[in-house]
Amino acid sequence: MAPLLSVRDLRTWFDEEDLTAKAVDGVNFELNRGETLGIVGESGSGKSVTNLSIMRLVPSPPGRVVSGEIVFDGRDLLKLPAEEMRRIRGRRIAMIFQDPMTSLNPFMRVSQQLMEVTQLHLGHSKAEAYAHAVRMLEVVGIPDARRRVDGYPHEFSGGMRQRVMIAMALSCKPELLIADEPTTALDVTIQAQILELIKTLKQDTGASVIMITHDLGVVAGMTDRILVMYAGRVFESAPTAELFSRPSNPYTAGLLRSVPDPTDDSHAPLYQIPGLPPDVARLPPGCPFAPRCARAEAVCREHFPPWVQLTPQHHSLCHFATELFESGSIAPSTSSTATSGLENR
Amino acid sequence: MTEVTKAPEGAAQEAVVGTSLWKDAYRRLKKNRLAVLGFVVVCIVVLASAVGPSIIQRATGYTYDYIPTDPTLVTSQPPFTAPDGSFAWTHPMGTDDAGRDILARVLLGGRISLMVGVISTMVSLIIGIAVGATAGYLGGRVDEAIMRLVDVLYSIPYMMVVIVLLAFFGGRSPISQLFLLFVALGAVSWLTMARIVRGQVMSLKSQEFILAARATGVPAARIILRHLVPNTLGPVIVYATLTVPSVMLLESFLSFLGLGVQAPLASWGSLAADGIQNLAVFPWQLICPGLTMAVTLFALNFLGDGLRDALDPQMRKG
Amino acid sequence: MGRFILRRLLVIVPMLLIVVSLTWALIRLAPGNFYSGEKKLPAAIERNIREKYGLDKPWYVQYGRMLSNTVRGDFGESLKYPGTTVNAILAATLPVSATLGVLAYLLALVVGITAGTIAALRQNSRVDYASMTVAMLGISMPNFVLGPALVFLFALSWYWLPPARWEGFGVHMVLPVLTLSAVYMAYIARLTRSGMLEVLRSNYIRTARAKGLSEFDVIVRHAVRGGLLPVVSFSGPALAFLISGTVVVERIFALPGLGNYFINANLNRDEPLIIGIVAFMSIAVLVFNLLVDVAYAFFDPRIRY
């Protein structure tokens, strides 16, 4: 069965004053129907821009999709005329954003914002759209939906607003839902609720989901596969369990080590990948992660790493991918005497 | 490989060069060609107003109030024309009905108009910053009271009161009239300045460096003066640069109506009032001072706009 | 909201009295009086005038009388035009000034909002730069230069429109309205542009686009309301300057409006007329500011009074 979404060699660059920031520079992945894909990375890794590119929402100027293909259900989205792309947005591919505080129009009633979508894409009449809006609010768990639907966004709390956004996104039963850091701006307890909600809705509607986050905890419980992104490229791609048990890229390993282990009593200092994410306008030659990599050798700084296939599902962008995959672990640096749990998996 | 090499900490990091808000803003301002042009024009006008009258006096003997003794010269000539109609350099802007050189008068008018603009703006700055910073910092009842007062004052039809003031108290000597103008126009503009400063102070107040200052026991007055005021400077400068042209415009209205600058002094507004009498026959009498004023205000506004764009980090182009 | 409006309406009376007192104080404290400029009047006539206008009473009595007259809306007779009440003058001149001001501001809104929106949508294009430069010119050009320039062009050179002088509402209004309107058109265009640009950058516009709405819907249904807020709040202080602008324009075009009469009243030291006009304008400013605040709340549902 052909994948629902197939991204090939996507490059999205931003033209700043004298430089070009290559926010996404050669990203490839596929998403099958019914799958949940997690995209993980630090700020600036290109994860959000990738997904904005899929929706063709990249602000342009200064951004532009330089090359690549985004094949959705057999058609290349980048080549579609604007009219047709608009028909897909909101109807077949929907997106929810990070900041529910500012992502809803403060001057419009929630009911109107919900009704717009179905009136436009499903041809609902006002009455139908209104009823549908109330139903959607109930589905996402807004109490007293019938009364609250006529309210304005500022009358809802943060978590509620995110539920409203989810309701809006799922109104037309899209085939693909892109969730861009949907819980980052929320409290931890609300986070869990929202993630549960997305999981349930996904099961009920059969949608495929792309979940973008910088939080490994979020993807662990929700995703079938994970992409790890850094400096505009995919550094590792694997099924979720395998990524956690057999990380085959120093960056992935670093990320995993950075997650504090609540069962660790050793009082060792918390691990952090040294250094800062690179400036994608001024990347060094060779591997973008080399300056911060514990495993880096001369070849890393001179030559761009290969995209190595370790299993048909598991790929890694590293000169030492195979060794890392085979060894099953990456040795910790001598600065920490405690194991960070990696070797205990 | 299980060999361990310690990660080269910070090895490939570029040296992070800090930049202050001002340097950043200055760089952005320089790139804005219109703003730079505005600055240049303003400088030219200021310079011309300052030294122009003396130069003209030395070159042609005309000052702003010199009426020629030769009766044949007591007519209004167009720019660059001698009484017999031939080309002459003497009067680049022509003469008025009394034979006075208009360029000299325009330059003097520039001196006065600019002076009124700058001084009144400074008056409003001082009052506005003092009131706004105090209200913003002290907050609570004091703030409420002050803001109530400001709201009340906002509702006064200012221009009317100013007109009454000038009509009844003016006319004694040109100097005292000027002084009256400084005060009256300064009093008109301080309100918005106070509001802006108060807004800035309130948002700064809750920031951590202020908390630190208070925690170490720095007295309130010192905090206001040495911490809050420098940080509100940005919007204040922008607003001040934009207030100067609007105050100049107000002054020109008043002078146009005969209430502002009095004879024998001149400001662009009063020159325009004189010139408008003869619009159909001697249009240069109005056009010369009018255009000079428009160009100067134009330049000032562009400069102010450029400053605002440079200092406001959110104003990205596109 | 109702209580808010009521409170603001109640505040009008004390505000009015303050402004009027201030004006009265200025007039009385100044040297000279109504008839000091003209030739010396015979003592008997002077006494009659003083008695008629109550000028022989002590100052606090006169002050009290002035206040109570103000509240009752009776400003007496003009000193310069004896036999004509101030209210009559107000009634005759108000329509002229009001029409001038309202038309000018409406024109400014229509042209300014359209121009500003187009500039925002075509940011950094030639249309954008051109219109913003023209707007800048509009702000920098004093109306006593623009007015005569328009007169020179349209009336004296091209004979399209009549020059100054008032002959009723009609084509004679065109040049004055244009002159007065120019600076507001400019301000509104700039405010609309910056307001729209800011809104178009916001996250909720991104959401609207992500829903698949057409550009037209995104702008008209989502962006406009937020983008026009600065224009609404500008309208409040705009009125204060509209007053001064109207005065100058009426002078230039010799229109029989409130502004023109006000200047003359000041030059003539016509106290009752001055007080009357100031009182009226105070009320107008206060009511108008109230309307603007209400309009703002209507536009922005987050504001609750």
Residues of chain A with pLDDT > 70, as a percent, come to 95
pLDDT exceeds 70 at position B228: no
pLDDT of residue C204: 92
Cβ neighbours of C26 in B, within 8 Å: 161, 164-165, 168-169
- What letter represents residue A143's amino acid? P
- Are the CB atoms for C213 and C258 separated by under 8 Å? no
DSSP of B124-168, one letter per residue? HHHHHHHHHHHHHHH-HHHHHHHHHHHHHHHTS-HHHHHHHHHHH
pLDDT of residue A338: 38
pLDDT of residue C188: 92
Cβ neighbours of A114 in C, within 8 Å: none
Which SS3 state, helix, strand or coil, does residue C163 take? coil
Chains contacting B (3 or more CB pairs within 8 Å):
A, C
Q: For chain A, say whether C296 makes contact (Cβ under 8 Å).
A: no
The CA distance from C241 to C285, in Å, is 11
pLDDT exceeds 80 at position A205: yes
Average pLDDT over residues A84-110: 91
pLDDT of residue A324: 84
- Across the beta sheet with A20-31, the strand order is A20-31, A5-15, A63-72, A75-76
pLDDT tier for residue C208 given thresholds of 50, 70 and 90: very high
Q: Is A107 exposed, middle or buried (0-12, 13-18, 19+ CB in 10 A)?
A: buried
pLDDT digits (tens, 9 = 90+) for C91-112: 888 888 888 999 999 999 999 9
Omega before residue B235 within 30° of 0, cis: no
Residue whose tokens read 């504090």 = A260
- Are the CB atoms for A165 and A176 separated by under 8 Å? no
Dihedral sign of CA atoms A254, A259, A264, A266 in order = positive
pLDDT exceeds 80 at position A335: no
Which SS3 state, helix, strand or coil, does residue B101 take? strand
Q: Token pair of B274, please?
A: 């004189």
Cβ neighbours of C237 in B, within 8 Å: 154, 192
The least confident of A172-181, A192-201, A216-225, C27-36 is C27-36
Q: Is B308 exposed, middle or buried (0-12, 13-18, 19+ CB in 10 A)?
A: buried
CB atoms within 10 A of CB C145: 26
pLDDT tier for residue B314 given thresholds of 50, 70 and 90: very low
The CA distance from A81 to A68, in Å, is 16
pLDDT exceeds 70 at position C163: no
pLDDT exceeds 90 at position C244: no
Chain-centre distance for alpha carbon A218: 11
The CA distance from C175 to C151, in Å, is 7
The CA distance from B309 to B302, in Å, is 10
pLDDT digits (tens, 9 = 90+) for A267-289: 777 888 888 888 888 888 888 88
Average confidence score pLDDT of chain A: 86
Q: For chain C, say whether A53 makes contact (Cβ under 8 Å).
A: no
Average pLDDT over residues B294-314: 81
The per-residue b/e assignment along C148-186, b for 16 or more CB within 10 angstroms, e otherwise, is bbbbbebbeeeeebbbbebeeeeebbebbbbbbbbbbbb
Say whether B253 and C237 touch across the interface (CB within 8 A): no
CB atoms within 10 A of CB B71: 8
Chains contacting C (3 or more CB pairs within 8 Å):
A, B
Mutate to test the interface with C, among A54, A107, A108 (most CBs of C within 10 A): A107
Cβ neighbours of C202 in A, within 8 Å: 102
The CA distance from B317 to C147, in Å, is 35
Q: For chain C, say whether B163 makes contact (Cβ under 8 Å).
A: yes
Strand extents, DSSP E, chain A = 5-15, 20-31, 36-40, 63-72, 75-76, 93-96, 176-180, 208-213, 225-230, 233-239, 307-311, 314-317
Q: For chain A, say whether B16 makes contact (Cβ under 8 Å).
A: no
Give the residue with greater pLDDT, B15 vs B211: B211
| ipTM score for this prediction | 0.83
Say whether B161 and C27 touch across the interface (CB within 8 A): no
Give the residue with greater pLDDT, A267 vs C132: C132
Which SS3 state, helix, strand or coil, does residue A270 take? coil
Minimum distance, in Å, between the CA of residue A171 and any CA atom of chain B: 32
pLDDT digits (tens, 9 = 90+) for C23-41: 888 888 877 666 555 556 6
pLDDT of residue C161: 66
Q: Token pair of A299, please?
A: 């070849």
Minimum distance, in Å, between the CA of residue A175 and any CA atom of chain C: 14
DSSP of C7-29, one letter per residue? HHHHHHHHHHHHHHHHHHHHHHH
Minimum distance, in Å, between the CA of residue C285 and any CA atom of chain A: 28
pLDDT tier for residue A163 given thresholds of 50, 70 and 90: very high
The CA distance from C275 to C25, in Å, is 11
pLDDT of residue A85: 92
Minimum distance, in Å, between the CA of residue A154 and any CA atom of chain C: 7
The CA distance from B71 to B67, in Å, is 9
pLDDT digits (tens, 9 = 90+) for B102-127: 888 888 889 889 999 999 999 999 99
The CA distance from A55 to C212, in Å, is 10
pLDDT of residue C36: 57
Chains contacting A (3 or more CB pairs within 8 Å):
B, C
Residue whose tokens read 């960056």 = A251
pLDDT exceeds 60 at position A345: no
Nearest residue, CB atoms, C244 vs list B159, B269, B276? B159
Phi then psi dihedrals of residue A300, to 5 deg:
-65, -35
